[in-house]
Amino acid sequence: MPCYNASRTLRLCLESVLSQTRPPDEIVVVDDASDDGSAAIAEELGCRVVRLPANRGVSAARNAGVESTTGDVIFFLDSDVALRPDAVAAAVRLLDDDPGLGCVHGVYDTEPLIDDGPVEWYRLLHQVHWRRRHLGEVHSVVFALAAIRRTAWLEAGRLDEGLRDSEDVEYSSRLAVRTRIVLTDAVMGRHDEGHRFWPVLAEQWRRALPLIPLALATARRGAAKPENANSRAGILACALALACVPLGLLHPALFAVPVALVGWFVVADPELLRFVHRQRGAAFTAYFMAVHLAVHVVLVAGLAAGSLRVLRGSPV
């Protein structure tokens, strides 16, 4: 478990690990130079704590954690995810039953770990929907709650410590060409998502910047494209709407073009609309789509900026 200033959720997450029907043989918390007492919480609960002298990011923390364990199966868990009691048992069973399977990862519950309001509900429901849509054999892994055979990890290599965001996208391109990966709702946990609007947009920007160069690297390795978290039609509709906004400067009537494209964006993923409506009702669905549009504006801008950096030969 990588951990950085996670005292708010860490106890809940570790208690869920300690309550597993199949207890893990080792519990290692990698404290990434926290200053909020996170390490003390982990030690109080009897976990082995690996302390990094300086904050190096989640990739370095996960690498250090793996190197401090000995098991044949490594279970990754983020410090803001509390596992369902049978999660570890389910992951181990899936790997035991299929020797050709190298990695399994799970989905989030529709209830947050700590309810912090509408922005968190937006984030959580979006995450739940896109992962459930791709249940089965996939070409990517999200390490928030995932189990991987040590042999598969050693073949794919360590996480890229130069990446603090989208590190799982880069790793997936190496892992998927070496072993099979399954996304399953048998492995489930409750997640404490981001709940402040501007930090959520800032995170989306950071994650979007490296996606184009990572996609190019994936193609060079011959790996399949990772599963999409967002509808391609929705991304296209948002990009076209942004591109057409200047038309309104030529004549006010031409603002109808980007407005129509925003309408297309709203209906581009009808399954998502229906899912959110079932979970939270009509009023929240309208709010959800407004936030979803803002996130897509940042996503499109980040993709464009990342593409320009690639063309200029600059590091992302």
pLDDT one-digit tens code per residue, 232-245: 999 999 999 999 99
Nearest CA to 200 out of 285, 110, 294 is that of 294
What are the residue ranges spanned by the domains of the chain? 2-221
CA atoms within 13 A on the CB side of 171: 27
Nearest CA to 175 out of 155, 192, 146, 189 is that of 155
pLDDT at residue 309, as a whole number: 84
How confident is residue 217, by pLDDT bands cut at 50, 70 and 90?
Answer: confident
62 within 8 A of 30, measured Cβ to Cβ: yes
Cα Rg of the chain, angstroms? 20
36 within 8 A of 104, measured Cβ to Cβ: no
Looking at domain 2-221, which of 3.90.550.10, 3.40.50.150, 3.40.50.720, 3.40.50.10330 is its CATH number? 3.90.550.10
pLDDT digits (tens, 9 = 90+) for 18-75: 999 999 999 999 999 999 999 999 999 999 999 999 999 999 999 999 999 999 999 9
Q: What average pLDDT does the structure give for the chain?
A: 95
Q: What percent of the chain has pLDDT over 90?
A: 87
Question: Among 25-39, 95-109, 274-288, 300-314, whose mean pLDDT is lowest?
Answer: 300-314
Q: Residue written as tokens 């990588």?
A: 2
Q: Please tell me whether residue 23 adopts helix, strand or coil conformation.
A: coil
pLDDT at residue 186, as a whole number: 98
Would you say residue 218 has pLDDT above 90?
no
d(CA 215, CA 223): 10
pLDDT at residue 314, as a whole number: 65
pLDDT at residue 316, as a whole number: 53
pLDDT digits (tens, 9 = 90+) for 265-275: 999 999 999 99
